Structure 1
Amino acid sequence: MSNALYKVTFLNHGKVYELYARHVAGSHLWGFNEIGDLVFDVHDGLVVDPTEERLREEFGNTRKLHLPMQSIIRIEEVEKKGQSAIRDAASGESVVTPFPVPGKPR
């Protein structure tokens, strides 16, 4: 079993998603790639990343994603997991905003 880690960047409903997975392969469905064993951060403390939580809500029970080849922007094999993201495809701005901190100007 390989310990490889992949960063998968793809388009979904006008947004760019960045997920991490342990399994990337061609799918048995023609024109699709298979992404499996999604990796999410485990938070034991009080600090919670809202983007990671949103991705876990959306994909937490997913065993395998079958993504159309046209929607995949990039697949990278990486050394360690970085921050997952959801961005607007047109502007590149983060779609999920963190909870505002009291006293911090916007």
Structure 2
Amino acid sequence: MSDNLIFKVVFINQNQVYEIYAKRVYQGEMFGFVVIEDFIFGETSSVVVDPYEEKLKTEFANVRRSFIPMHEIIRIDQVERRGTAKIIPLDRETGQSGKVTKFYVPEKS
């Protein structure tokens, strides 16, 4: 795989939609998990600071590899350049954000 590849990964985590960028994304050895490695975040010398990207940068600061359950992945795109990492809150009642609809999950009895 080329080192120039950049992937945008959109997934649900704790009632929020995370949109992050990474250099490596693949199916893990643990069944049902997607592995994300080599996270890419914006420059720290930027004058404008995005609080969501800073939160993601802090959350993944010491993470070498993240295992995301396959059923929480919404989309994986190979992109030409990195965008801004984002956190989009989900509406608790509908399970939707402005852009994303969560898959139906049966309620436990």
User: Deviation digits for residues 57-102 of structure 1, max 9, x if unmatched?
Assistant: 1111111110000000000000001111101123526xxxxxxxxx
Q: Which residue of 2 aligns with 1:92?
A: 97
Q: Which runs of 5+ in 1 are unaligned?
A: 94-106
For 1:39 and 1:66, how far apart are their aligned partners in 2?
16
Q: Which residue of 2 aligns with 1:70?
A: 71
TM-score by length of 1: 0.81
Partner secondary structure for residue 57 of structure 1: helix
Length, aligned pairs only: 93
Q: Which residue of 2 aligns with 1:51?
A: 52
Could you tell me how far 1:48 is from its partner in structure 2? 1.4
TM-score by length of 2: 0.79
- Whichever residue aligns with residue 65 of structure 1, its letter is S
Moved over 6 A (4+): none
Instruction: Please tell me the root mean square deviation across aligned C-alpha atoms, in Å.
Output: 1.4
- Whichever residue aligns with residue 27 of structure 1, its letter is G
Q: Which residue of 2 aligns with 1:9?
A: 10
Residue identity over aligned pairs, in percent, reads 42
Q: Which residue of 1 aligns with 2:37?
A: 36
For 1:50 and 1:68, how far apart are their aligned partners in 2?
26
Q: Which runs of 5+ in 2 are unaligned?
A: 99-109
For 2:47 and 2:79, how far apart are their aligned partners in 1?
27
